Every structure is written in structure tokens, then in C-alpha cells.
Chain A
């Protein structure tokens, strides 16, 4: 009997993990310059006033000028990604296995041309792991 219950628990755990895979605990805001900021969706409220979007949750409040906002999206990633600094020599994009995917003038240009996936982007001495959705 205990064995059966254990099997049921494991099966349920599998379901739980599957459901958890669709969990989106963050809402990310991306401005038109590529800046991304993700906030927790726990108790998250958005208000629109005076040309600004104000996001309020248990962590605090942050605002975005609506004119600067490009999009928002739900994400499982908590990382707030800052834009890569402007470099005269652009950015180089690699796959997660290290294969070079190309050289682009800017991060925005790379994003526009690359298919969805996870990439390592190198600009000058800085390297970031990014996901295109």
C-alpha cells in the first residue's frame, strides 16, 4: 500500500514539475533601447498615468515612460539584463555550444536577425547569456 502511495506521489510530482514548467513568476519590460527589467508578478499591479507605467509589487515600485516601452512579456528568468555598452566594433553572437552565429552592428541588430533561442553575446570584454523569445 505504501508503495502504491509512493508511486502516486511520484506521478503527482511529475505533474507538478510539468505544471511548474509553465510558470511565469516574472514580468519583463523591455524599452525601445533594448533594456530589459523583470519584476516579480507576486501582488503585481500596473497602473497607467501621465504617460508612465508604474509597476508595484511586494519588492517596491518601478516606473517606465510609456513612450520608451517597447514590450513586456512573462518570463521564468529573474535576470534583469542591461544593454550591452555601445562598442564601435559591434557584438558577436555564439550558440550555447560555442559556435559563432555571426557579427552584428548592435545587440538590436542581432536580436532582429537571430531565431529564437539561447545565445552567448560578446561585446568587447563583456559576455552575456541571452534568450530570444
Chain B
């Protein structure tokens, strides 16, 4: 064993190759002896080594030792008020370094790989007055290997290179970047080119002038732990697209949005496959843990100028900034946890979104919101932001779609609709204290998944048609309709539990007064407060005028338990309780449930069994608890409800006076 140790030591000694170290001020160029070849002198003033020409007058000294050299590597070590730089010989000719105190400027001139690889700049050490400015025209890597760097007069890292930059945070290292206030820098960490944030270490960024991290092109995040603890502007800001593949990102203390992505050019390239040449303004969250807490007025947790696509990961966004009046756009604006100027697609992940700022929203998509999978929890405890009677912003949990006035005026006004909400899977829980929990400015279509919405306003509202053909949908309103369509409402399938607050509100509402109708052609339905008058009930419905709060009921289709549900204990709930299944419908109260999966915040059970209970006497129900009106056939149910405000034939279809539109005509 002793011989082996001696041998290993011998190998170590022999393996220590020679390196010529050429020192010019604070920069040392490291030339491995086996790479140098002939080192030419010229004119008594110049020495050229591996293509790097030195003026011998600039050489502080040169020496030969056993320094190990990693090809393509440039190491920058910050040490208080100074910095030293070492440059691997094989890239020396492509790197010009200027050091002033701890302010390091590097210009890189290669236009292709060097010896099959790009140049890597490795930063370490500490300085309270230092920076790295990096210029060039070819991709490179900046590795943070335990650096704590503050630049009181500019960006801590300023990369003017327009090419792809890998910013790699070395595994096991803690790194911190900070800048000073009142500067002209765009960010504490700025990259003009594409910025790939990666590595297994931790990076903390504090920005006192503008954004924490800004790229003039796209940003991708992979593996690293990134903490933005303060910023005057956004936490992360980029153009083109943003992609989070994995890692842990925590953003707080920002003056503006958590993450913002805009178009780089005037218009989208239309390229998204593989993200090659993509300029979309899209944000992609694929995996990892993203936690954002924004507190400033009308700020967004995640703001996509294009689409927002979430396919995995854990996303926690809290917004608490109040609404504000945007004098540029002449509109009232609120905060939003997730915001997309285009479409929003959620196909995976666990999303927890909370808003407490007036006029804020947990989710806001101008285009189509599609939820295909994942778990979405959106809680909004805020009230309306009111700048004036004409400029307000409502605090909703989920809002999507756009309604645009196309003509007319008064009750003859006409609209076009775009976007909307489509749910095909996943679990959605939405809660709003003051306004609709879920609102579409266009259509809502549910064909799968589980949706639970509760609000003091309509639990779920669509400006246009509302269609349910599958899934489990519960709208629990403590002050208005359970489900409300300002167009037609189609119940074709699925399982629906709708709870209205009191007459004249109804469990399931359609805009009868506007010439629309509720169509029930299938599904398993429970509607507390009944159905809109004038409904077309192709599937037989039944009702009972009495029910008990907090009691479990079993709704049967023949002998099969179609749904076990618990009646909420809301202060006020409408009557009757209407039920319907696709077959022979019976109802039992006070059942005992076991097994299965709890849904709708505990108000429903699927896949379980029920035992015991007492049969409830049901009456045939032909619909008609809503106000009816000039367009429809009017009421006809068991109850003769009073007319609601604005429910008459002259009632305009317009509602929800957010923004420039008129204030709500009715609730």
C-alpha cells in the first residue's frame, strides 16, 4: 500500500505540466507549455504567444510554474477594491481585459468556438464596488462560482454581447449581485442577448435602479435557485419569450411585475416549435417552483405580452397592490397574479394564486383561458377599485376573454366576443369576495375537470354562451346566481351543482331577457334557487321546496349514486332545490358517505358510496325561477318569483361596468 501511495504521489508530481504565466497589471495569461510552440519576438518590443501579442513594455513579469490551466476559461476574482483576472492561453488572443479597481471590462473577439468550445468566464470573490462588463459577438458562458458583487454606480453584470449567454450558477455556491440607486442601468444583471440561467447553485439579486434581471432577448431558467429580493422594476424582464424548465425562483420586493415578457419586435414571428427564432412574448412554465409576491399598485405576478403556458411545476403568486388609474390608457387597472395579453393554457402543475389588492385578479387572460390539467387555486379577497364611476376595476378570481362593442347604443348595443374559458380537465378552485369568482367576457365551455367557484356575486359568469358537457362544476354564490350566462346556457352533460343566494337569483341563469335561454339536455344537476325562467328542459327536472343546510344528499340515477353532495350553510340560499339526471331521478337526504374523492371544497363526493338516508319527495319541475321577461316564456315553476332589477324586456344585455363601460345595470 505504501508503494501505491508513493506511485500516486509520483504521478501527481509528473502530471504538473509547465505553464508560462504572463502578467500584465491585474491580468495573468496562462499558456500551457505543450500549447505554446514557438513564441516569437518582433522588433524588440513585441512578444506573440498563441496568437496573443504583448507589448513587452506592458508585461509586468512572466514566470513558469505548474499552474493548471483549463482551456477556454477566464477567471475573475473580486477582492475588495480590486480584481484579478486570469486568461487561459488558448483564448488569450480573443480576450482583451481592462481592470480598474474591481471594475472589470472584457471584450471578446472570437466569432466561433475556440478549440471546440465557447469561452467561460468564472466569477468569484467579493467586492462592494465592482462589476463585470462583457462585450462580444459570440456566445459564451458566465459562471458564478461564489461571487458577492455590488456595483454602486451601475449594473453588477452588464453583458452587451447580443449572442446567447449561459449564466451558470455553480453547484453548491451562494452568489449575490446588487446595484446602486439612481443609475442608468436597465438591470442589476443585464444581458443584451439571450440569457440562459442555469446551474445548481443559488443566486440572489437586489436591484436599486431598475429590473433585477433583464435580457434584451429570451430568458430560460433551469435548475438554479434564484432569489430576487428587491427591484425597482420587474424581477425578471425579457423579450421574445420566457421559459422556466426547472429550478426554484422566488421573487419579492419588486416595484413592478414579478416576471414580464414582451415581444422583441413589432410583431410575433409565429415561430414557437423548439423556440427557434421565437418572438412571441410567451411565457412557459414547465417545471420547478416559482414563488412570487408583488405588492405595488396594479402589478402582475407573471405578465405575458403573448401567451402564458403552464404545463407543470408549482406556482405560487400573491398580489396585494391596489388598483390604480392608468392615465396613458385612460382606464382603471388592477393587479393580477397571472396575466396574458394573449391566451393562457394550464395543462399541469399546482397553482396557488391569492390577491388582496383592490381591483385585482388572480388570473387575467385577454384571450382564451384553457385549463386541461393541473390544480388551480385562486383566492381573491379584495374589493373593487373605483377611480370614478366610469373607471373601475373588479376583483375577480379568474377572468378571461374580451368583449368588444361593435355598434349600437343603449339596449341595442352589439358586441363581438373573443377568447373565453375552456376547461377540459384539472381541478379549479376559485373564490372571490366581491365580484364573480370566474368570469368570461366571452364564452365558457366545460367538458371535463372539476371546477368549484364561490363568490358573493355570480360564482361563474359568462358574457356570452356557457356550455357544460362534462366534468364537475359547482358555482356557490352567497349573493347572486350560481352559474350565470349572459348568452345561452347549455347543460349537455357533466355534473353541476349550482347555488344561488336568494330570489330573484337562480342557481343556473341565462339571459332570457336578452333573448337567450337555458337548455338542459343532459347531465347530473343540482340547482339551489332553481333554473332560469323560460328554460328548455329536454331532460326531466324535479324540485323540492325544502332542504337542509349542511346536510349530505344522495342524488340517484336509477339505483346508481350519481352524486353525493352537501348543501352549503350559506346565510341565504334560494329555493327550490332542483335536481335532474339522465335517468330515473331520486333524492335522499342525510345519507352517510364513505370512500370516494372529495370535490368542490368538500361539497361533493365522487366515486364513493352512500348508505342510509331518507327519500325526499320530488315534484316535477318545468323551470322558471328567474324573472322571465319580454323575450322568454316567463316563469312557470313552483314559485312565483318577483321580477329582478332590469330583468324586464327592455333590460340591456350589457353588464359589469369595468373600465370604460357603464357601471353594472344589475347584479
Judge: A and B partners, yes or no. Answer: yes
Enumerate chain A interface residues (CB-CB to B < 8 A). Answer: 5, 8-9, 12-13, 15-16, 19-20, 22-25, 27, 41, 44-48, 51, 53, 65-67, 69-74, 133
Q: How far is the CB of A107 from chain B (nearest CB, A)?
A: 17
Choose from A22, A25, A51, A72 the contact partner of B34 (Cβ within 8 Å): A22
| Interface window among B4-12, B67-75, B334-342, B419-427 | B4-12
User: By the criterion of a CB under 8 Å from any partner CB, how many residues of chain B are at the interface?
Assistant: 30
Nearest-neighbour CB distance to chain B for A96, whole angstroms, equals 22
Q: Chain A residues near B57: list those with CB within 8 A.
A: 48
Majority DSSP secondary structure for residues of B touching A? mixed
* Contact between chains at A44 and B63 (CB < 8 Å): yes
**Closest CB in chain A relative to B660 CB, distance in Å:** 75
Question: Known contacts being A48-B56, A48-B59, is A69 close to B41, with CB within 8 Å?
Answer: yes
- Report whether B40 and A20 are in contact in the complex, using a CB–CB cutoff of 8 Å: no
Shortest C-beta distance, B217 to chain A (Å), equals 42
How far is the CB of A38 from the nearest CB of chain B, in Å?
A: 13
Q: Do A71 and B41 touch across chains, with their CB atoms under 8 A apart?
A: yes
* Given A12-B8, A20-B14, A48-B56: A66 in contact with B41 (beta carbons within 8 A): yes
Known: A23-B17, A73-B37, A73-B39. Contact between A12 and B62, CB under 8 A?
Answer: no
Contact yes or no, B36 A74, CB < 8 A: yes
Give the residues in chain A near B63, CB-CB below 8 Å: 44-46
Contact A66 B33 (CB under 8 A): no
Query: Distance in Å from the Cβ of B299 to the closest Cβ of chain A?
Result: 59
Contact (Cβ within 8 A) A23 B14: yes
Residue from A5, A24, A25, A72 within 8 A of B41 (CB atoms): A72
**Once the chains bind, are A9 and B7 in contact (CB under 8 Å)?**
yes
Chain B residues positioned under 8 Å from A8 (CB to CB): 4
Out of B4, B17, B38, B59, name the residue touching A71 (CB < 8 Å). Answer: B38
> A residues within 8 A CB of B3?
5, 9
B37 near A45: Cβ-Cβ < 8 Å: no
Q: Is the CB of B61 within 8 A of A74?
A: no
Check if A13 sits within 8 Å of B7, measured CB to CB. yes
Considering the complex, give the chain A residue whose CB is closest to the CB of B55.
A48
- Decide if B34 touches A67 in the complex (CB within 8 Å): no
Q: Taking the nearest CB of chain B, how far is it from the CB of A124, in angstroms?
A: 28
Provide a sorted-by-A list of 14 A–B residue pairs whose CB atoms are within 8 angstroms.
Answer: A5-B3, A13-B7, A19-B11, A19-B14, A22-B33, A24-B18, A27-B20, A45-B62, A51-B44, A65-B44, A66-B41, A66-B44, A71-B38, A74-B20
Instruction: Name the residue on B nearest A22 (C-beta).
Output: B34
Residues of chain A within 8 A of B36, CB atoms compared: 73-74
- Is B640 in the interface zone, CB < 8 Å from A? no
Contacts of B59 in A (CB 8 A): 48
Q: Are B8 and A66 in contact (CB under 8 A)?
A: no
Q: Is the CB of B44 within 8 A of A71?
A: no
Chain A residue contacts of B1, Cβ below 8 A: 5
Residue among A23, A51, A66, A71 making CB contact with B18, cutoff 8 Å: A23
Which residue, A15, A25, A65, A71, has most C-beta atoms of chain B within 10 A? A71
Question: In whole angstroms, how far apart are the Cα atoms of A73 and B17 in the complex?
Answer: 15
Partner of A22, one of B17, B20, B44: B17
B408 at the interface (CB under 8 A from A): no
Q: Does B43 contact A (CB under 8 A)?
A: yes
Task: Give the CA-CA distance A24 to B39 in the complex, in Å.
Answer: 14
Partner of B64, one of A27, A66, A70: A27
Known: A9-B4, A22-B33. 19 other contacts (CB 8 A): A5-B1, A5-B3, A13-B7, A16-B11, A19-B11, A19-B14, A19-B15, A23-B14, A24-B18, A44-B63, A45-B63, A46-B63, A66-B45, A66-B56, A67-B44, A70-B40, A73-B38, A74-B18, A74-B34
Q: Tell me, in angstroms, the Cα distance from A8 to B57 when the chains sit together.
A: 50
Candidates A25, A27, A67; contact of B43 at CB < 8 Å: A67
- Cβ-defined partner of B14 (8 Å) among A5, A16, A53, A65: A16
| A-chain residues with CB within 8 Å of residue B18 when the two chains form the complex | 23-25, 41, 74
Chain B hits for A53, CB < 8 A: 56
* Bound Cα distance from A53 to B61, whole angstroms: 10
A64 to chain B, nearest CB (A): 9
5 closest Cβ contacts across the A-B interface?
A67-B44, A74-B33, A66-B44, A24-B33, A69-B41
Q: What separation, in Å, do the CA atoms of A41 and B1 have in the docked complex? A: 33
B8 to chain A, nearest CB (A): 7
Q: How far is the CB of A5 from chain B (nearest CB, A)?
A: 6
With contacts A9-B4, A41-B18, A44-B63 known, is A133 near B38, CB below 8 A?
A: yes
Chain A hits for B14, CB < 8 A: 16, 19-20, 23
Q: Please indicate the chain B residues that have their CB under 8 angstroms from the CB of A71 in the complex.
A: 38-41
Closest to B8 in A: A12
For A13, give the chain B residue with the smallest CB separation.
Answer: B7
Residue of A nearest to B59 (CB): A48
Q: Is B64's CB under 8 angstroms from A41's CB?
A: yes
Could you say which residues of chain A place their CB within 8 Å of the CB of B56?
A: 48, 53, 66
A24 to B8, CA, bound (A): 21
- Beyond A5-B4, A67-B43, whether A133 also contacts B37 by CB under 8 A is yes
A3 to B7, CA, bound (A): 16
Bound together, the chains give a CA A33 to CA B43 distance in angstroms of: 14
B62: A residues at CB distance < 8 A: 45-48
Q: Which residues of A contact B64 (CB under 8 A)?
A: 27, 41, 44
CB 8 Å contact bits of B7-33 with A (1 = contact, 0 = none) = 110110011011010000000000001
B55 to chain A, nearest CB (A): 10
Give the shortest distance, in Å, between A39 (CB) and chain B (any CB): 10
CA distance A74 to B17 in the complex (A): 11
Q: Is the CB of A46 within 8 A of B7?
A: no
What's the Cα separation between A5 and B7 when bound, in Å? Answer: 11
Q: Which residues of A contact B39 (CB under 8 A)?
A: 71-73
A16 contact set on B, CB distance < 8 A: 7, 10-11, 14-15
Distance in Å from the Cβ of A106 to the closest Cβ of chain B?
19
Query: Complex: how many Å from CA A65 to CA B4?
Result: 48
How many Å from the CB of B394 to the closest CB on chain A? 74
Most chain B CB neighbours (cut-off 10 Å) among A22, A45, A46, A70: A46
Residue pair A12, B11 in contact (C-beta under 8 Å): yes
- Chain B residues in 8 Å Cβ range of A67: 43-44
Chain B, 483-533, CB within 8 A of any chain A CB: none
Instruction: Find chain A residues with CB under 8 A from B10 CB.
Output: 16
| Interchain nearest-CB distance for A81 vs B (Å) | 15
Chain A residues, CB < 8 A from B15: 16, 19
Partner of B7, one of A12, A25, A69, A70: A12
B14, B17, B41 — most chain A CB neighbours (10 Å): B41
**Residues of chain B with a CB closer than 8 A to A74's CB:** 18, 20, 33-34, 36
Which residue on B lies nearest to A66, using beta carbons?
B44
Complex alpha-carbon distance, A73 and B34, angstroms:
10
Report B110 CB to chain A, min CB distance, Å.
25
Q: How far is the CA of A116 from the CA of B500 in the complex (A)?
A: 95
CB distance from A15 to the nearest CB of B (A): 6
Q: Which of A8, A72, A74 counts the most chain B CB atoms within 10 A?
A: A74
